[in-house]
Amino acid sequence: MSAPQQPYSDGPPDPEGQDGGYQQDGQQAGGPPAAGGKKKRDRYAGQAYEFGAGANAALGGQQPGGQQYPGSPPAPGGGYGFPGQQPMQQQPSYGMPQPQQPAQPGYPDPSMAQAQPQYGQPQYGAPQGGYQPPQDSYQPPGQQPGMAPVTQQFQQMSVGGGPAPAAAAGQMRLNPLQPVDIGPQGQPFHVTDLDQPPPPIVLPPNASVTPSPHANCPPKYIRSTLNAMPTTSSLLKKSKLPFALIIQPYATLHDSEDDVPVQYDQVIARCRRCRTYINPFASFLDHSHRWRCNMCNLTNDVPQSFDWDSVKQQPVDRWQRPELNYSVTEFVAPQEYMVRAPQPLIYLFLLDVSYAGVTSGLLATAARCILESLDRIPNADRRTRLGFMAVDGSLHYFSIPRDGGENNDARMLVVSDLDEPFLPTPEDLLVNLSECRANIESFLEKLQSMFAQTQDNSSAMGSALRAGHKLISHVGGKMCVLSASIPNVGYGKLEMREDKKLLGTSKENGLLQTQSSFYKSFAVECSKTQVSIDMFLFSAQYQDVASLSNLPRYTGGQTYFYPAWNAARTEDAIKFATEFSDYLSSEIGLEAVLRVRTTTGLRPSAFYGNFFNRSSDLCAFPSMPRDQAYVVEIAIDETVTKAFACLQAGVLHTTCNGERRIRVLTLSIPTTQNLAEVYSSADPQAITAYFSHKAVERALGSGLDAARDAVQAKMIELLQTYKKELGGGNMGGGGLQFPANLRALPMLFLGLMKNLGLRKSAQIPTDLRSAALCLLSTLPLPLLIQYIYPRLYSLHDMPDDAGLPNAETGAITMPPALNLTSGNLVPYGLYLIDDGQTQFLWLGRDAVPALINDVFGIDDKNALKQGKTSLPVLESEMNERVRAVVEKSRDHRGKGCGSIVLPPLYLIREDGEPSLRLWAQTLLVEDRADQGVSGPQFLGMLREKVLS
């Protein structure tokens, strides 16, 4: 049967795709202490002193040598540590106003959180000096009283490069530049900088057609590297900053948790020239009978039924329509957007039944997990279909009859021809979940016993993929591969090529390349027929993740890696079962395409992420997962003359429930001719995400050394550009000047260079490195930043409210995060280090028995199980609070992104297993671990390069 057509026709003229705790300045948060909390901590403290920790206890947040690490919270009087300890000298906070200083305007200050304009709210349009709207026009709410005098002061000053734009010229005042010395002697990076919102987007008053607080796209869906964009290509080049969008079309795994409004009336207004969807930044003319496109300026007729609700059969107030009030909205597409009937949800499971797959417990666990998740698989339209294939040296198909027949047993059909595998029977191999539910359950219960005695070490997974593609390519669907061994026979056969002598050398790059051209060419073929592939890889031996990850990379899938997984370890079994069940329940978009449209003069020039780039501006996803982000680089081809530019991402897709929908995300960004405003509006986290994709591309193309060198060279280039163009050449007494909003950038770049995917080391197995590179190029931005710069929490001296539910929100209060340096670890302490993929509980060598007993229920720390573990449930307040913090830290939903990942927890004893200790220490980005450079050394090197 012929391959399915691309399902979208994006309107006839343009067929889419036919081609908490401590405050930052060291003050303790208020609130009464928990009853008995201080008394108990004092008891621990006295014991810590007697136990031999006293000599080190005063270190608190200090580095060896007695110098306090800037910005670390002081140890509260007697935590689990030194009794009667004096509070440390308060440090200057990181660019935040001191109590005795007036607050600075501009970059958001956490203490003014209530007053700050939030993303996507019309406060953005609030004039920040200069331009004032006419008296009778709409004044956005939330205007800060008292800001006007401060803004006027800024207009009279020359802040950071040239005169301020004249108010007389009617120009808005964008974010003012705030230079700081980011060196160790100035106001260096503090981890709380990562909790700051991006620099505000300041739009002109009345930029949007309605006074909606949701008119501009929130950062959880789209973040721009620049929140004020240069009007010309030459100014962008001069800045050396990238202009790119980090797009995450979905922020949740399930529709029920998604608050995006859905428009059901099938009235879709689009520009007839550039095909932009009408949005809050369009404008109306001619008594509102026509509208002007905010991308290309063409005037269009308003659809006749724009003021009529065809679902309720009644007039509608157009100013209440979601597409004019919300920057993120979804349309139910009418018939002309379909080339064929919406595709049903299809899962084809390819299960490894080789000796490794059976003896590791993978087959039994996967079968049990699918069985228990049948109710969670989306099936509202009762069209969902499942298929099962087993793979060893042969291919095993399973024919499952409908419920209620005479014979309810599944038949196994074995095909041993791996070169041209055929379908033994076209029907009954893909079965309707609703019609065959009882027989599917019966089959899954028996599956493990069918292969219990196997001795076959072969895996013909490449041939199985081809056969699976043949089975579902006429409809499309998702192939879910669970494999515990390397494909070693048949198509796509791979060799054991890892050589430990090559690790850490220039020849390591060869191991990160795909070994067989089959995997990329087959993936491209799958993309054309709407087939997506997800890889779940479990091998204890080398499995060639570098080659296998090509399958998800070009089909919109994901690679999930479980090194040395074994179901006999409870933690392993729970992690996989939890993640796989969430994976099966996630409401993916099927047969999707993503297109980005821009204001005239701009164009998308490069795309990064897991998809197939079908044409210059179209990305194809056989299925679009909800837990990935994509990067689109924007080029400036012509001078942009408007006060603000618009960018719109459209995702056309079929929902799991058989509806064709279009999700539209619209972002507006002010334009500027002032380099200072470009720098003061740059978003360090979005910039890091962009360069993480560039670094992965460079690593796979030119090698790891080249990738690390490119990241470091870019940081030097940005500092030099800032010094030359905006710093007046003056480094302020030999410091390292940079805008306050970009202060986190050097540490994020250092974290990127030290990440498992890019770090220079001879100890990182190729599969682990390849899996890390997959994460660096797919993770949603909040998880990517945590993966690059992990979170460190001190648990032994948590504030009294940490680990307990907040009285108002009910959310668990987290302890204050600490910078990633061993200077923040005391020898009697207990810490949590969490990079979003793995969690480490670090127990100091001098931890007192009382602390160990309260958390683990054992007095002797030598009796604690090191390595992968789970916390016991005890009737102790400390145990409950530590467990609450660990659970809250691994809950990714609170971070504004969907994710199925359940990070495993490792217990590390400071005086225990050296390899485990070194592994945890490599996450301390600002230390020298694994022969890297420390944070201060890195900043010193940058300073030398910039000054030279």
Task: Go through the chain and tell me how many residues it has.
Answer: 948
Q: DSSP letter string over 378-440? A: --TTS--EEEEEEESSSEEEEE-PPTTSS----EEEEE---SS---S-SSSSEEETTTTHHHH
- pLDDT single digits (tens) 769-812: 999 999 999 999 999 999 999 999 999 999 999 999 999 999 99
- Decide: 284 and 302 in contact? Cβ < 8 Å: yes
Count Cβ atoms within 10 A of the Cβ of residue 39 and give its class: 0-12 exposed, 13-18 middle, 19 or more buried.
exposed
Amino acid of residue 940: G
Residue 612, both tokens: 């197939």
| Pair 268, 331: CB distance under 8 Å | yes
Q: Cα–Cα–Cα angle for 198, 203, 205, nearest 5°? A: 140
- Tens digit of each residue's pLDDT (9 = 90 or more) over 297-331: 999 999 988 998 887 888 989 999 999 999 999 99
CB 856, CB 872: distance < 8 Å: yes
Q: What is the mean pLDDT of residues 78-82?
A: 37
Are 174 and 677 a contacting pair, CB within 8 Å?
Answer: yes
Residue-level pLDDT at 215: 96
Could you tell me the sign of the dihedral formed by the alpha carbons of 682, 686, 689, 694, in that order? Answer: negative
Q: Where are the alpha helices (DSSP H) in 857-934?
A: 877-890, 914-921
Can you read off the two tokens belonging to residue 709? 């060198």
DSSP 3-state of 601: coil
Task: Classify 867 as helix, strand or coil.
Answer: strand
The set of residues, in sequence order, having a beta carbon less than 8 Å from that of 682 and lying 6+ positions away, is 199, 225, 226, 227, 241, 739, 741, 742
Residue 448: C-alpha distances to residues 372, 412, 565, 682, 946 (Å): 15, 13, 18, 54, 63
* Burial class of residue 666 (count of CB atoms within 10 Å of its CB; 0-12, 13-18, 19+): buried
Distance of alpha carbon 131 from alpha carbon 170, whole angstroms: 5
Q: How is residue 679 written in tokens? A: 């720098």
935-944 pLDDT tens trace:
999 999 999 9
Alpha-carbon distances of 218 from 124, 208, 329, rounded to whole Å:
12, 15, 12
Separation in Å, CA 514 to CA 9, 544, 701: 35, 8, 11
DSSP codes of every residue in 657-694: TS-EEEEEEEEEEEEES-HHHHHHTB-HHHHHHHHHHH
Contact 562, 538 (CB under 8 A): yes
Instruction: Write the pLDDT tens digit of every residue in 96-120.
Output: 333 333 333 332 333 333 333 333 3
Q: Is the pLDDT of residue 56 over 80?
A: no
Segment 410-446, tens digit of pLDDT: 889 898 888 877 777 767 799 999 999 999 999 999 9
Q: Which of 3-17, 310-324, 913-927 is predicted least confidently?
A: 3-17
Mean pLDDT of 844-873: 93
Q: Which two tokens stand for residue 24?
A: 């930052």
What average pLDDT score do residues 457-466 get?
Answer: 95
Helix H or strand E segment including 534: strand 531-537
**Mean pLDDT for the stretch of residues 664-681:** 97
Q: Is the separation of the CB atoms in 179 and 727 below 8 Å?
A: yes
User: By the 8 A CB rule, do 419 and 490 touch?
Assistant: yes
CA 91 to chain centre: 33
**160: Cβ–Cβ under 8 A, 6 or more apart, which residues?**
176, 177, 178, 179, 676, 679, 680, 726, 739
3 state SS of 807: coil
More confident residue, 624 or 50: 624
Which percentage of the chain shows pLDDT scores above 70? Answer: 81
How would residue 47 be classed by pLDDT, with cut points 50, 70 and 90?
low
- Which residue ranges form the domains of the chain, and what is each CATH number? 37-93+790-912 (3.40.20.10), 247-340+589-680 (2.60.40.1670), 346-585 (3.40.50.410)
Per-residue confidence (pLDDT) for residue 309, from 0 to 100 = 82
> What was the pLDDT predicted at 730?
52
Q: Please tell me the distance from the alpha carbon of residue 230 to that of residue 244, in angstroms, as a whole number.
A: 12
Say yes or no to pLDDT of 528 above 80.
yes
pLDDT at position 335, please? 85
pLDDT reported for residue 733: 55
Tell me the per-residue pLDDT of 128-160, one tens digit each, with 9 for 90 and over.
332 222 333 333 333 333 333 333 333 333 333
Q: Is the pLDDT of residue 921 over 80?
A: yes
Strand order of the β-sheet with 222-224 is: 222-224, 244-247, 630-636, 602-608
Contact residues for 25 (Cβ-Cβ < 8 A; gap 6+): 90, 91, 93, 96, 98, 99
Q: Tell me the pairing of strands 531-537 and 559-561.
A: parallel
Residues 178-203 have a mean pLDDT of 93
Q: Return the residue matching tokens 């022969």.
A: 931
Q: What is the pLDDT averaged over residues 53-65?
A: 34
Measured between its terminal Cα atoms, the distance across the chain in Å is: 66
Buried b (16+ CB within 10 A) or exposed e, 634-652: bebeeebebbbbbbbbbbb
Cα–Cα nearest to 835, from 903, 891, 883: 903
Q: Cα(110)–Cα(793) distance, rounded to whole angstroms?
A: 19
Q: How confident is the model at residue 171 (pLDDT cuts 50, 70, 90)?
A: low
| Mean pLDDT value across residues 526-535 | 96
List, for residues 711-722, the tens digit of each pLDDT value: 999 999 999 999
Phi, psi of 835, rounded to the nearest 5 degrees: -100, 15
Q: Distance of alpha carbon 266 from its chain centroid, rounded?
A: 32
Q: What span, in angstroms and rounded, lies between the C-alpha atoms of 939 and 947? A: 12
Q: What is the pTM of this model?
A: 0.84
Residue pair 518/464 in contact by the 8 Å Cβ criterion:
no
Alpha-carbon distances of 278 from 9, 123, 272, 294, 670, rounded to whole Å: 18, 22, 11, 9, 19
Structure tokens at 94: 């990181």
Q: Which one has a higher pLDDT value, 119 or 46?
A: 46
Whether 759 has a pLDDT exceeding 90, the answer reads yes
Residue 90: its pLDDT value, please?
35
What would the pLDDT profile of 483-521 be if each residue is shown by its tens digit?
999 999 999 999 999 888 898 888 888 898 899 999 999
Q: Say which range, 202-206, 310-314, 704-708, has the weakest mean pLDDT.
A: 310-314
Distance of CA 789 to the CA centre of its chain: 13
Report whether 568 contacts 560 (CB < 8 A): no
User: If pLDDT is split at 50, 70 and 90, which confidence band does 929 have?
Assistant: confident
Which residues lie across from 261 on neighbouring strands? none
SS3 of 480-524: the string is: EEEECCCCCCCCCCCCCCCCHHHCCCCCHHHHHCCCCCHHHHHHH
> In angstroms, what is the C-alpha Rg of the chain?
29
Taking phi first (over 0 means left), then psi (-120 to 50 degrees means alpha), and beta for anything else, what does residue 749 get? alpha
Contact, 98 vs 25, CB < 8 A? yes
* pLDDT at residue 26, rounded to an integer: 32
